[in-house]
């Protein structure tokens, strides 16, 4: 109950809304323009990352499932050795409980000073060359900001869509925990890297 209350506060929702109202809503799909996400190869993603000077990693539950945190740390070390500044944008409800991502990244020896809250990183996101979304969905869903009809509207999110380029690492084309489509995935500045997050990140490192 305490964890649920904490998560409701982080999502800017009341318990009553979460339990009763939101369950009745369904996501609207636009019949008109329906874009397809753009997939890229690991080689193409590497070339973009090689030129990046400011990189932000946005982890989610998919990173935990793939146990990719050590590979992510290795990638960050490579990026820093190449002259890039690396930070992590941690949403309070990313994962399955508050602090889930912090624990995983601490286990991988990611320096604490690199871990930023969503609020801290959102003000800087427009200066980020590449935002790497790893297994996160709802916490980067821009409908929470732009679409008043969305059940997520009003929930604080990480503004990944403001970065110059967004990499989204996903196992497949499925939706997140909420079951809602994420328009971030079809933005012009977003490219998809499909597959197991640990394997994808390890390939980038290689």
**Pick the catalytic residue: 44, 77, 138, 147?**
138
SS (H, E, C) 130-160: EEEEECCCHHHCCHHHHCCCCCCCCCCCCCH
Q: Dihedral sign for Cα 184, 186, 191, 197, please.
A: positive
Using a 10 angstrom Cβ sphere, with 0-12 exposed, 13-18 middle and 19 or more buried, the burial of residue 174 is exposed
Based on the residue annotation, tell me whether 143 is a catalytic residue of this protein. Answer: no
Active site residues: 138
């Amino acid at each position: 109950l305490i964890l649920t209350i904490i998560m409701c506060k982080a999502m800017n929702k009341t318990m009553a809304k979460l339990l009763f109202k939101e369950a009745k809503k369904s996501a609207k799909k636009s019949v008109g323009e329906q874009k397809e996400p753009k997939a890229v190869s690991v080689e193409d993603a590497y070339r973009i990352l090689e030129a990046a000077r400011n990189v932000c990693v946005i982890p989610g539950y998919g990173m935990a499932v793939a146990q990719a945190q050590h590979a992510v740390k290795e990638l960050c070390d490579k990026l820093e050795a190449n002259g890039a500044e690396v930070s992590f944008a941690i949403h309070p409800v990313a994962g399955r409980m508050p602090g889930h991502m912090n624990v995983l990244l601490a286990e991988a020896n990611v320096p604490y000073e690199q871990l930023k809250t969503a609020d801290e990183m959102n003000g800087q996101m427009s200066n980020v060359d590449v935002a790497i979304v790893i297994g996160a969905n709802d916490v980067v869903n821009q409908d929470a900001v732009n679409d008043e009809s969305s059940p997520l509207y009003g929930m604080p999110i990480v503004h990944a869509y403001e970065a110059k380029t967004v990499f989204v690492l996903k196992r497949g084309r499925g939706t997140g925990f909420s079951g809602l489509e994420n328009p971030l995935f079809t933005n012009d500045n977003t490219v998809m890297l499909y597959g197991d997050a640990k394997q994808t990140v390890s390939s980038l490192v290689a």
